[in-house]
């Protein structure tokens, strides 16, 4: 992978841009694929879509032993976004004992770490505040 490509992916990852298969609707994230994983279209025709910045916790772990610089215990979750892709991220603004499978969370762009003076951003997830007017699931 070339450096410009790494930066493009990092940028799109931060913006939550996915690629929807025009044949079956499966969404690839964070990279555009050549072949659709669901319908096997090859080459697949993907259209760029802005993903909804929320989803549900599919599974999680609470890390207790990490290198210096990390605050522990640190909950990490696999989140299934509303549009389908599954992503891995830190859970913030939530006590580890309050994390549950199925919990509604929203993505939040945060500084992950600093490297050579440059801030590296990525999203983290925090509990989603649901408005009372929100219907359905």
Of the listed pieces 23-31, 59-67, 112-120, 127-135, which binds Zn ion according to CB under 5 A? 23-31
Among 18, 19, 20, 26, binds Zn ion (CB under 5 A): 26
Among 5, 6, 24, 88, binds Zn ion (CB under 5 A): 24
- The reply to whether 29 sits near Zn ion by the rule CB under 5 A is no
Q: For residues 21 and 79, which CB has a smaller minimum distance to Zn ion in the complex? A: 21
Helix locations, the chain, DSSP H = 3-15
Beta carbons of 77 and 91 less than 8 angstroms apart: yes
φ/ψ of residue 99, rounded to 5? -70, 135
In this structure, how many other beta carbons lie within 10 angstroms of the beta carbon of residue 39? Answer: 13
Least Å from the CB of residue 26 to Zn ion: 5
- The reply to whether 21 sits near Zn ion by the rule CB under 5 A is yes
The first and second tokens of residue 97, run together, are 């004992």
Site string for Zn ion, 39-78 (x = CB under 5 A): x-x-------------------------------------
- The reply to whether 36 sits near Zn ion by the rule CB under 5 A is yes
**Is the peptide bond preceding residue 110 cis, with omega within 30 degrees of 0?**
no
- CB-based burial of residue 38 (10 Å sphere; 0-12 exposed, 13-18 middle, 19+ buried)? middle
Binding residue count for Zn ion, defined by CB under 5 A: 8
Q: For residues 37 and 119, which CB has a smaller minimum distance to Zn ion in the complex? A: 37
Beta carbons of 26 and 39 less than 8 angstroms apart: yes
**Residues in touch with Zn ion (CB under 5 A):** 21, 23-24, 26, 36, 38-39, 41
């Amino acid at each position: 992978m070339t450096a410009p490509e790494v930066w493009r992916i990092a940028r799109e990852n931060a913006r939550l841009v996915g690629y929807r298969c025009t044949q079956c609707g499966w969404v690839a994230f964070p990279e555009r694929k050549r072949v659709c994983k669901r319908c096997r279209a090859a080459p697949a025709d993907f259209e760029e879509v802005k993903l909804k910045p929320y989803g549900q916790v599919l599974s999680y772990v609470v890390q207790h032993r990490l290198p210096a610089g990390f605050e522990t215990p640190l909950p990490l979750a696999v989140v299934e976004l509303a549009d389908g892709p599954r992503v891995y991220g830190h859970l913030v603004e939530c006590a580890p004992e309050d994390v549950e499978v199925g919990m509604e969370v929203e993505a939040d762009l945060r500084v992950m770490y600093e490297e050579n003076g440059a801030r590296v951003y990525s999203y983290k997830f925090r509990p989603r505040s649901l408005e009372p007017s929100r219907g359905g699931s």
